[in-house]
Copies of this chain bind each other. A is one copy, B any other.
Amino acid sequence: MTLRVGVVGGGQLARMMIAPAVELGIELRVLAEQPGMAASLAATAVGDYRDAETVLAFARDVDVVTFDHEHVPQPVLHALEEAGVAVRPGADALRFAQDKLLMRARLEELGMPQPDWAAVADATELQDFLDAHGGRAVVKTPRGGYDGKGVRVVSAATEADDWFTVLAEDARGGALLVEELVEFTRELAQQVARRPSGDMRSYPVVETVQREGVCAEVIAPAPHAAERLADVARGIGEAIAEGLGVTGMLAVELFETSDERVLVNELAMRPHNSGHWSQDGAVTGQFEQHLRAVLDLPLGDTTPREAWSVMVNILGGPVAGGLSDRFAAAMAEHPAAKIHTYGKDPRPGRKVGHVTVAGDELDETAYEARAAAVHFDD
């Protein structure tokens, strides 16, 4: 019997599960939002993931349902679980990825290091927080944000008025999340795979470089990461995976501060941009690992294949022509670069591909990856 994994969502994360699924011999079935998406090759259904009937019909005849994104509503997740479908990560874990206030509260219970935070229901409460934190803070909508969307640095409570208005109109009520503006020296990410049986495997902590709120580059492992830092990051990742009951891949985005603290910034319960390096740079890539984890198969070796891997995102892509028009020049100059494109039309700021180079020397490896990726700009 061929194992069958159903993926809700047809974006590039679902697309990048295709290669390891085909290689292992797992049948991947994708519920795509619309035709022609990045994962369309594996799409067996097109439909609305917010509709329980659509998702239930899709989930028939698969061994497990997993996700390209975390936006499937709780009622749909519960309907799946009540119908006896294996949902990984499950509804109870996904709550914490879907609601940043729930996430902050749960991390506090788990004793995880994180920025000062509060739930603020109105401008007065936000102003109080600002006053107590030097007059500036980060305000986030608890739901629906990604890649810097739904995140705003404010220095006056009025700067979040529009969001408070939306909240007031939302029948569910609720609050905004406000967080201390952390003076970080750099951003890190820790990935952990966890099986339903509880087994976990962690990847080395990586450094992520963001530009305009979007991941631009990842260096694996994080340079100058002392053993203590790597241990602390891994400990945080594993405690969160276990404490939140995550199954599949978990990514924990972290701030490293000048006083050597590590604070949890964001979570993602799925393969994550910070782990794309592992496709080419680790014995087991994150997409294969996610499939193994959600199928409750033993996890693969996460050891890096080379001393350094550098992943550079292709953001936007060429203004004229397609990405493949740039293959010839990029490949001619960078024969060791691993080029990935997602079958998406170029658009300013959009993640349309990435390039990974692995090597012995960080400087050279990073140069090669950046220089290869530049071929796909404008």
Contact = CB atoms under 8 A, between A and B. Distances in A.
A323 interface: yes
Interface string A165-205: 00000000000000000000000000000000000010000
B23 A335 contact: no
Interface string A292-326: 10000111110101100000000000000111110
A328 interface: yes
A302 to B, nearest CB: 9
Nearest to A1: B322
A298 B22 contact: no
A60 to B, nearest CB: 20
A317 to B, nearest CB: 11
A335 B298 contact: yes
A226 interface: no
Contacts of A341: 24-25
B22 A325 contact: no
Q: How many chain copies? A: 2
B1 A339 contact: no
Interface residues of chain A: helix, strand, loop or mixed (majority): mixed
A324 B1 contact: yes
Interface in A10-47: 15-16, 18-20, 22-26, 41-42
Given A283-B336, A340-B23, A342-B25, A298 B2 contact: no
A311 to B, nearest CB: 13
A330 to B, nearest CB: 8
Interface residues of A, number: 47
Contacts of A301: 335-336
A271 to B, nearest CB: 14
A292 to B, nearest CB: 7
A343 B25 contact: yes
A332 interface: yes
B3 A324 contact: yes
Contact of A335 (B300, B323, B328, B338): B300
A332 B298 contact: yes
20 contacts: A1-B322, A1-B324, A3-B324, A16-B23, A19-B19, A25-B324, A25-B340, A25-B341, A26-B324, A41-B41, A41-B42, A201-B335, A292-B331, A298-B328, A298-B332, A298-B335, A299-B335, A300-B331, A301-B335, A305-B305
Given A2-B322, A23-B340, 12 more contacts: A2-B343, A19-B22, A25-B341, A25-B342, A283-B336, A283-B338, A292-B331, A297-B331, A298-B331, A299-B335, A301-B336, A305-B305
